[in-house]
């Protein structure tokens, strides 16, 4: 289980995270959604220990993150860092040292499956190929937790489908955890077991798709009551949080868009 509790982080004097709270259970594919600059990457960096939170707690399997735990976490960085002149083989040698569970057979199979050229230095790959290559390194490392910053960015639809299936398989043992960010609402619907919406450094929604659908309604101005929490005005009504049987049920896209516009 990974818990993020009242996380706060500033860059200099500028707050990036004001109050982020996430509860990630074993077996979860946990997706972070939010507008540009909302704080998704900063949250992920705090979880894997690249940034030190100013306030709040991050508990990974009930303990504070330390080096040992880091071996069980593989990360897809926003930057897709590559080293000039290194070939896929060289990365395998390095990753073997970092990850004791490294699976060479899996690595070779995935490189073939995703058609990546082994005779080209990785820094000359296209941006999508670099992302795929890093994802292959992550799966071959056989960690317990995968943290991915926008893993499907610049990936073609066929390979994207494969990656989403691989993420589902990874958590199917009910123990492994995936935490990822995305701008694609349909991906949340396809694979998320839980998700959070982050707006301006705060979690404004956390839960699963069922909760998102059951807690909200789209109502007309005339149907509004004082008990309702207004999320935002949408094209054909107001998205509100309510338990009242009123208005109409929103679809998932409307709920997420409503929070993103909030
Ligand atoms: N290294 C940095 N130095 C200063 N400010 C930063 C730095 N990294 C991020 N920020 C700021 O922190 C805030 C949150 O940025 P972050 O990258 O976490 O957002 P995000 O939700 O991942 O955005 P996007 O969807 O555009 O990738 C933004 O205002 C951003 O400008």
Please tell me whether residue 227 adopts helix, strand or coil conformation: coil
Sorting pLDDT into bands at 50, 70 and 90, what band is 67?
low
Place of tokens 């049987």: 245
Q: Which residues pair with 198 in a beta bridge?
A: 203
Sorting pLDDT into bands at 50, 70 and 90, what band is 262?
confident
Report the pLDDT averaged over residues 186-194: 95
pLDDT at 150 over 70: yes
The CA 223 to ligand 1 mean position distance, Å, reads 38
Segment 207-236, tens digit of pLDDT: 999 999 999 999 999 999 988 999 999 988
Quote the pLDDT of residue 65: 65
Give the chain's radius of gyration (CA, Å).
20
pLDDT at 70 over 80: no
Q: Which ligand 1 atom sits nearest the alpha carbon of residue 35?
A: 25
Segment 13-48, tens digit of pLDDT: 999 999 999 999 999 999 999 999 999 999 999 998
Report the pLDDT averaged over residues 93-102: 94
The answer to whether the CB of 216 falls within 8 A of the CB of 259 is no
Residues in the chain: 262
The CA 220 to ligand 1 mean position distance, Å, reads 36
Mutate to test the pocket of ligand 1, among 16, 19, 79, 149 (most ligand atoms within 8 A of CB): 16
Structural domains in the chain plus CATH codes? 2-207 (3.40.50.300), 210-261 (no CATH)
Report the pLDDT averaged over residues 46-66: 85
pLDDT at 68 over 60: no
The CA 50 to ligand 1 mean position distance, Å, reads 14
Residues above pLDDT 90, as percent of the chain: 90
The residue contributing the CA closest to ligand 1 atom 5 is 11
- Of 111-125, 158-172, 202-216, 221-235, the poorest mean pLDDT is in 221-235
CA 8, 11, 13, 16 torsion: positive or negative? negative
Q: Which residues pair with 4 in a beta bridge?
A: 22, 58
What is the pLDDT of the chain when averaged over all its residues? 94
**Ligand 1 binding residues, C-beta < 6 A:** 11, 16, 34, 36-42
| Alpha helices by DSSP H, 82-150 | 88-98, 104-113, 127-140
Q: What is the ipTM of this complex?
A: 0.98
pLDDT at 69 over 70: no
């Amino acid at each position: 289980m990974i818990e993020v509790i009242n996380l706060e982080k500033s860059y200099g004097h500028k707050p990036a995270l004001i109050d982020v709270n996430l509860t990630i259970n074993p077996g979860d594919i946990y997706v972070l959604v939010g507008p540009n600059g909302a704080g998704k990457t900063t949250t992920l960096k705090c979880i894997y220990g690249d940034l030190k939170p100013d306030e709040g707690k991050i508990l990974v399997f009930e303990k504070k993150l330390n080096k040992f735990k880091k071996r069980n976490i593989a990360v897809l960085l926003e930057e897709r860092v590559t080293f000039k002149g290194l070939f896929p083989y060289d990365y395998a040698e390095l990753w073997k040292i970092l990850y004791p569970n490294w699976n060479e057979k899996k690595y070779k199979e995935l490189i073939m499956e995703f058609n990546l050229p082994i005779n080209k230095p990785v820094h000359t790959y296209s941006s999508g190929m670099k992302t795929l290559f890093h994802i292959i390194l992550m799966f071959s490392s056989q960690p317990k937790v995968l943290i991915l910053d926008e893993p499907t960015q610049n990936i073609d639809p066929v390979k994207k489908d494969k990656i989403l299936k691989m993420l589902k398989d990874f958590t199917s043992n009910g123990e492994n955890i995936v935490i990822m960010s995305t701008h694609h609402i349909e991906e949340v619907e396809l694979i998320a077991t839980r998700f959070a919406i982050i707006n301006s450094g705060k979690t404004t929604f956390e839960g699963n798709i069922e909760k998102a659908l059951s807690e909200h309604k789209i109502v007309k101005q005339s149907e509004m009551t004082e008990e309702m929490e207004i999320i935002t005005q949408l094209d054909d009504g107001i998205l509100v949080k309510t338990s009242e049987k009123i208005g109409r049920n929103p679809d998932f896209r409307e709920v997420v868009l409503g929070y993103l516009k909030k």
